Structure 1
Amino acid sequence: MSWQQFKQSWLITFWSPVPAVIAAGILSTYYFGLTGTFWAVTGEFTRWGGQILQLFGVHAEEWGYYKLIHLEGTPLTRIDGMMILGMFGGCLAAALWANNVKLRMPRSRVRILQAIVGGAIAGFGARLAMGCNLAAFFTGIPQFSLHAWFFALATAIGSWFGARFTLLPLFRIPVKMQKVSAASPLTQNPARARRRFRLGMLVFIGMLGWGLLTAMNQPKLGLAMLFGVGFGLLIERAQICFTSAFRDLWITGRTQMAKAIIFGMAASAIGIFSYVQLGVEAKIMWAGPNAVIGGLLFGFGIVLAGGCETGWMYRAMEGQVHYWWVGLGNVLGSTVLAFFWDDFAPSLATRWDKINLLDTFGPLGGLLVTYLLLFAALLLIIGWEKRFFRRVGLATVKETL
């Protein structure tokens, strides 16, 4: 394969979501094994909110939530911080390779309001559940934490309500029709595309260099940066968005991304299991009402905002300003949760047990239960898909009669 063929096939063309999500699951497994933590982002965004408050003289470090997730250091000295910086760099590099960077403004003020409010609701819900679509779902379920199953089911329900809510007339933006006498010329500029590709390679090489240099003195921080770059490339090139997985399920009946996520978690679970057997401690959270309430809010919020944590990150790097507002909403919502955590925690979270399926059912039993639940989820998704299109088909037949 020539360089031009490789460039077109792997760096410019979008990747198939199923193998990309499976690759993300495998990558997150190695990330866990080598750094001792899981792929997660909203915890670090919550720290950013706390440190911004500190700049204004607020002693956020005294809040119970920040004592729990540790506010010490900076993004450059925290594993999550370096990983997220790597993700942003990977997303930007991938978008530049494909000439997919363009400043795109929100089409209305309603969209901006959706972005901020939806992002805040999602951020609040994610941190109430101690994780977003990653830590409390995609990487939480392979950690064998029962709370992740509560969160996943609640997120699906919340996203259904969110999908119905966003179909209301309030959110329909009028389309202005414009009369034209000829087709508009193609906007692709080959010279600009080449310049952006070279810039993307510079960003990519720069991030790799930063990660490798850091790894020489602080191995885990450097590895976190490198893994982050990998995660960023995957989510941008394959357009991995958990919001679309849930929203499309309810609105269009498309299940490709939902199935891909199931396969990704299945690939990750066996790897996490292996690391746990070698002595790496799994991340288990409280299986309490916080996971359910947080999931409902998160599912509703991501659909209202139009993007989850992974979704808004790569779209923001592509220049979609709407998702800058979603990111701001995420930070605001998670910071508000941190402020109220001491009021919620005793009744909704900390009084409930942290249930590890490997402890409850034994190592092999917990692994088997996890795969059985994943298989059941897959069957439900397939069943819903068939029912959806059968119903659409019947409706179409009735309209033609």
Structure 2
Amino acid sequence: MSWQHFKQHYLIKFWSPFPAVIAAGILSTYYFGLTGTFWAVTGEFTRWGGQLLQLMGVQAQEWGYFKLIHLEGTPLTRIDGRMIIGMFAGCFAAALWANNVKLRLPQHRIRIIQAVVGGIIAGFGARLAMGCNLAAFFTGIPQFSLHAWFFAIATAIGSWAGARFTLLPLFRIPVKLQKVSSASPLTQNLAQARRRFRLGMLVFIGAVGWALLTAMEMPKLGLAMLFGVGFGLLIERAQICFTSAFRDMWITGRTHMAKAIIFGMAASAIGIFSYVQLGAEPKIMWAGPNAVIGGLLFGFGIVLAGGCETGWMYRAVEGQVHYWWVGLGNVIGSTILAYFWDDLSPALATSWDKVNLLAAFGPLGGLLVTYLLLLAALLFVIAWEKRFFRASRPAVSHAVKESV
């Protein structure tokens, strides 16, 4: 295989979401096994909000939530922080390889409002549930935590409500028609594309080199950054967005991404199970109302904003300004939750049990229950897809008859 063929097919073209999501599931398994934590982002973003408050003189370190998730250190000295730095580097490198970096402003001010408000709601909900689409869903379910199932179901319901809400006339942007004499030719500045590809390689090599140098003195931090680069490459090249998975299923009936996510979790679960049998401790959170309420808010918020945590990260580095606002909203929302945590947590979270399915049903029983639940989720997605398109056929046929 020539370099040009490899470059075109594996670095420039988008990757198929199905194998990419499965690869992300497998990568997250090794990330857990080697670093002792799971692939998650909103917890670190919440720390960023807390440390910004500290710079303004607020004693955020005294808040109960920050005592729980630990505010010590900086993004450079925390595993999650280094992983997220790696993710941004991986996303940026991948976007540059494909010449997919361009400053794109929101089309209307209503989109900015959606981005900020939706981001705040999603950030608040994610941290109330102790995790976003990653820690309380994609990597939470393979950790055998019951709270992740509560969150996943609630997120699906919340995303359905968000999809219906965003179809209201309020969110429809007027289309401006412009008279033209001829079609615009599709062109690409090849010199610019080559420059950006080289810059992308420099970003990639620089991030990997930084991670390897760090690993020589602090192995876990270096490994976290390397994994982050891998996660970033996967989500940008395959355009992995959990918001799209839920929203597309409800609005267009497309379920390809939803199925990929289920198979990704199935691939991850057996790996996590193996590590747990070797003595690793899974991350189990409270299976209380916080997971349900948080999931409802998160599902609604990500659809209103137009992107989840993984979605806004790679789109932001591609130059889509809308998602800068989503990211800001996420940090604000998660920090607001941290402020109110001491008032909310006794009733909604900390007085409820942390249910580990492996402990509740036994090791093999917990694994079996997890796979049966994933199978049920897959069957539901398939049934919904068939129902959606079966219901749409009569409408299409009727429209054709009317036109004739």
TM bracket (short chain):
over 0.9
Matches within 5 A, 1:128-143: 128-143=128-143
CA–CA separation in structure 1 for the residues paired with 2:35 and 2:89: 20
**Partners in 1 of 2:59 and 2:362 — Cα distance?**
43
> 2-side partners of 1:274 and 1:395: how far apart?
50
RMSD: 0.5
Superposition deviation, residue 398 in structure 1: 2.2
User: Residue 289 of structure 1 aligns with which residue?
Assistant: 289
Corresponding residue for residue 262 of structure 2 = 262
Aligned-partner residue type, residue 82 of structure 1: R
CA drift at 1:267? 0.2
Following superposition, the deviation at residue 400 of structure 1 comes to: 2.8
Matched, 1:320 2:349: no
Q: Work out the CA distance in 2 between the residues paired with 1:398 and 1:348.
A: 49
TM-score (norm 2): 0.99
Residues 271-304 of structure 1 show CA distances to partners (whole Å, capped at 9, x for unaligned) of 0000000001000000000000000000000000
1:226-251: per-residue Cα shift (whole Å, max 9, x none)?
00000000000000000000000000
Amino acid at match of 1:134: L
- Mapped pair 1:364 → 2:388: no
Q: Distance in 2 between matches of 1:137 and 1:302?
A: 14
2:166 aligned residue: 166
5 Å matches for 1:26-65? 26-65=26-65
Counterpart amino acid of 1:163?
Answer: A
Structure 1 counterpart of 2:302, one-letter code: I
The percent identity for this pair of structures is 85
- Show the 5 A alignment for 1:172-211: 172-211=172-211
**Equivalent residue letter for 1:302:** I
Q: Which position in structure 1 is the counterpart of 2:228? A: 228
CA distance in 2, matches of 1:392, 1:270: 38
Which residue is 1:12 aligned to?
Answer: 12
Match of 2:343 in 1: 343
Encode CA deviations 1:79-135: one digit per residue, 9 max, x unaligned. 000000000000000000000000000011100000000000000000000000000
Question: Structure 1, residues 353-394: CA drift from partner, whole Å, max 9, x if none?
Answer: 000000000000000000000000000000000000000001
Tell me which residue corresponds to 1:388.
388
Task: State the distance in 1 between where 2:91 and 2:228 align.
Answer: 9
Q: Provide the rounded CA distance (Å) in 1 between the counterparts of 2:187 and 2:350.
A: 55
Aligned to 2:115: 115
Report the Cα distance in structure 2 between the residues aligned to 1:281 and 1:187, rounded to whole angstroms.
53
For the residue of structure 2 that corresponds to 1:39, the secondary structure is: coil
Q: Which runs of 4+ in 1 moved over 4 A?
A: none
Opposite residue 292 of structure 1, the aligned amino acid is: V
Equivalent position amino acid for 1:152 in 2: A
Distance 1:43 1:188 in 2: 40
Q: CA deviation at 1:399?
A: 2.3
d(CA) in 2 for partners of 1:379, 1:186: 42
Q: Shift of the alpha carbon at 1:202?
A: 0.1
Q: Give a deviation string over 1:151-192, Cα, whole Å, max 9, x none.
A: 000000000000000000010001101111111122410000
Partner of 2:54, secondary structure, is helix
Helix, strand or coil at the partner of 2:245: helix
Q: Distance in 2 between matches of 1:175 and 1:196?
A: 33
Q: Gapped runs of 5+ residues in structure 2? A: none
Matched, 1:87 2:59: no
Distance (whole Å) between structure 1 residues aligned to residue 121 and residue 38 of structure 2: 23
- Structure 1 counterpart of 2:275, one-letter code: Y
Give 1:145's aligned residue.
145
In structure 2, C-alpha distance between the alignment counterparts of 1:279 and 1:189, rounded to whole Å: 54
CA distance in 1, matches of 2:400, 2:39: 50
Q: Distance in 2 between matches of 1:216 and 1:123?
A: 35
Q: In structure 2, what is the Cα distance between the partners aligned to 1:185 and 1:203?
A: 32
Q: State the Cα distance separating 1:223 from its structure 2 match.
A: 0.2
Letter of the structure 1 residue corresponding to residue 236 of structure 2: E
Name the amino acid aligned to 1:347.
A
CA–CA separation in structure 2 for the residues paired with 1:377 and 1:186 = 42
Quote the Cα distance in structure 1 between the aligned partners of 2:277 and 2:62. Answer: 36
Return the letter of the residue paired with 1:123.
Answer: G
Q: What is the CA–CA distance in structure 1 between the aligned matches of 2:206 and 2:400, rounded to whole Å?
A: 59
SS in 1 for 2:283: coil
Count of residue pairs brought into register by the alignment: 401
Q: Deviations over 1:176-228 (max 9, x none)?
A: 01111111122410000000000000000000000000000000000000000
**Which residue identity lines up with residue 322 of structure 1 in the other structure?**
H
Query: Which residue does 1:154 correspond to in 2?
Result: 154
Q: Which amino acid aligns with 1:334?
A: S
